[in-house]
């Protein structure tokens, strides 16, 4: 385990890092994106040759095809932060056609009432709005649980820049498997606003609205609700939990589940400025993080970047004692992913504060491995799902 970092202060962030690069603007964007994509015509054959030698693969258990896919994703991913594109995003203002939904049904989630909005969630320019949600299974009522089972509030990832909460997005395989194989018999998947739609605290407001919908509107006991999030969705889960813990506008949920969560939102500024070492495994993991993603989340000239170093955005940097009385928590990562160290730091903080923590680390697995079949590995995916389902079932019994 890595010790929790001691950050009594943080480096002053250079103003130049808060500006978008030239490829964010036309006509440069229109040239940069096609050139980067076209370069794959050269890179993919090179990778095929390079990874044909097992010694060049990050782990010897990885297949050539898996290594190529991971490097392809890593090559394309910076376009999100640098150019402001939002792949796999969906409309937040229109209902989908019912025929397009096979496993879920659509609901609107109304904004939280004013008395629920305090502290970090209160902002003069960013307000709550009605956002979409998707209910598992199709046709079921969230509050029709019977005597057993829990309700999951699922928050997808994508660096706050991309992705969606529909059943077609890869990360929803987590919700799918938990619904099929555990006592999590109802799930609300939230379609929150991305940073391209609105800066922080829009994402917190939308997550809060979903929880208010479950507790206030549907009268579901908070103890029977579990927050679960993948990637940046895990960050938002921890942000919502921190908000509830500090503002006490609603009780805490019965449990937290984090899958490859992005926890440290300040470190990319430190890495860029040379005051911190790169995350471990960055040379073999497909995840490409960037301080620009966090600039987009806060919005230029909207929020001071210093808040990224606080416990709302960087839960691994919280002080000891910050997690006293937190609910049982499940954390799942791969041992080859670049976010491993910050997850170890969070787990140590939680354990130190007496939280019941299950830390699931899968061998030779990379970031968000449960969500994509084309990356390593099927064995890790099955093992992690078994661990997650077992954790949910034990939570219900307790």
Q: What number is the average pLDDT over the span 57-84? A: 97
Domain with 175 in it: 98-397
pLDDT reading at 8 higher than 50: no
| Predicted confidence band of residue 300 (pLDDT cuts 50, 70, 90) | confident
- Nearest Cα to 77, choosing from 376, 346, 372, 308? 372
Q: Is the pLDDT of residue 9 over 70?
A: no
pLDDT of residue 7: 46
Q: In the chain, what is the greatest distance between 2 CA atoms, to the nearest angstrom? A: 60
Domain contains 252: yes
On whether residue 62 sits in a domain, the answer given is no
* Residue 12 falls inside a structural domain: no
pLDDT confidence band for 156 (50 / 70 / 90)? very high
Residue 205 CB-half CA count within 13 A? 28
State whether residue 283 is helix, strand or coil: coil
In a domain, 18, yes or no: no
Q: Mapping DSSP to helix (H, G, I), strand (E, B) and coil, where does residue 248 land?
A: coil
Choice among 75-79, 140-144, 229-233 with the minimum mean pLDDT: 140-144
Looking at residue 325, which CATH number applies to its domain?
3.40.50.1820
Calpha distance 23→92 (Å, rounded): 27
- Render pLDDT for 72-95 as a digit per residue (tens, 0 to 9): 999 999 999 999 999 999 999 999
State residue 145's pLDDT score.
84
Q: Residue 12 pLDDT more than 90? A: no
The residue-averaged pLDDT of 290-302 equals 89
Average pLDDT, the chain: 95
Q: How many domains does the chain have?
A: 1
23 located within any domain: no
Stretch 149-177: mean pLDDT: 97
Yes or no: say if 252 and 222 are a contact pair by the CB < 8 Å rule: yes
| Helices 172-181 and 378-397: angle between axes, nearest 10 degrees | 50
- ∠ CA 188-150-148 to the nearest 5 degrees? 140
203 lies in some domain:
yes
In a domain, 176, yes or no: yes
Tell me the C-alpha distance between 144 and 3, whole Å.
Answer: 43
Model confidence at 172, pLDDT cuts 50, 70, 90, reads very high
Task: Tell the burial category of 346 from Cβ atoms under 10 Å away from its Cβ (0-12, 13-18, 19+).
Answer: buried
What's the pTM?
A: 0.95
Does 2 have pLDDT greater than 70?
no
Residue 1, pLDDT > 60, answer no
Q: What is the mean pLDDT of residues 167-193?
A: 97
By percentage, how much of the chain surpasses pLDDT 90?
Answer: 90
On whether residue 209 sits in a domain, the answer given is yes
- Asked whether the predicted pLDDT for residue 53 surpasses 80, the reply is yes
pLDDT at 302: 72
pLDDT tens by residue, 331-387? 999 999 999 999 999 999 999 999 999 999 999 999 999 999 999 999 999 999 999
**Amino acid 226: pLDDT:** 99
**Per-residue pLDDT tens over the stretch 105-134:** 999 999 999 999 999 999 989 999 999 999
Beta-strand relationship, 225-230 and 184-190 = unpaired
- Under a CB-based contact definition with an 8 Å cutoff, are residues 211 and 153 in contact? yes
- Cα separation, 180 vs 165, whole angstroms: 18
């Amino acid at each position: 385990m890595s010790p929790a970092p001691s950050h009594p202060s943080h480096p002053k962030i250079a103003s130049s890092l808060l500006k978008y690069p030239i490829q964010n603007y036309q006509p440069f964007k229109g040239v940069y994106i096609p050139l980067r994509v076209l370069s794959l015509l050269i890179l993919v054959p090179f990778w095929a040759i390079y990874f044909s030698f097992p010694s060049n693969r990050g782990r010897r258990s990885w297949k050539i095809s898996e290594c190529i896919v991971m490097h392809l994703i890593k090559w394309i991913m910076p376009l999100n932060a640098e150019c402001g594109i939002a792949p796999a995003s969906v409309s937040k203002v229109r209902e989908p056609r019912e025929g397009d939904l096979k496993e879920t049904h659509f609901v609107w989630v109304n904004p939280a009432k004013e008395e629920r909005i305090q502290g970090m969630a209160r902002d003069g320019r960013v307000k709550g709005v009605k956002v979409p949600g998707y209910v598992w299974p199709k046709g079921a009522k969230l509050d029709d649980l019977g005597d057993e089972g829990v309700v999951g509030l699922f928050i997808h990832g994508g660096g706050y820049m991309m992705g969606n909460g529909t059943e077609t997005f890869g990360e929803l395989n987590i919700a799918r498997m938990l619904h099929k194989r555990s006592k999590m018999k109802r799930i609300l998947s939230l379609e929150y606003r991305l940073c391209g739609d609105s800066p922080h605290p829009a994402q917190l407001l939308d997550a809060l609205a979903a929880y208010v919908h479950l507790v206030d509107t549907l009268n579901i006991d908070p103890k029977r609700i579990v927050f679960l999030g993948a990637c940046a969705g895990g960050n938002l889960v921890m942000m919502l939990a921190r908000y509830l813990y500090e503002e006490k506008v609603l009780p805490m949920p019965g449990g937290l589940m984090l899958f490859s969560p992005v926890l440290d939102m300040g470190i990319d500024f430190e890495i860029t400025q040379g005051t911190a070492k790169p995350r471990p495994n960055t040379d073999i993991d497909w995840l490409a993080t960037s301080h620009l993603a966090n600039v987009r989340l806060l919005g230029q000239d909207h929020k001071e970047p210093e808040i990224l170093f606080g416990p709302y955005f960087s839960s691994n940097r919280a002080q000891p004692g910050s997690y006293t009385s937190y609910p049982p928590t499940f954390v799942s990562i791969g041992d080859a992913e670049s976010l491993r160290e910050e997850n170890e730091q969070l787990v140590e903080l939680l354990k130190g504060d007496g939280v019941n923590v299950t830390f699931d680390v899968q061998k030779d697995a990379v970031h968000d491995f449960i969500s994509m079949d084309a990356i390593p590995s099927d064995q890790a995916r099955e093992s992690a799902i078994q661990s997650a389902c077992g954790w949910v079932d034990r939570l219900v019994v307790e």
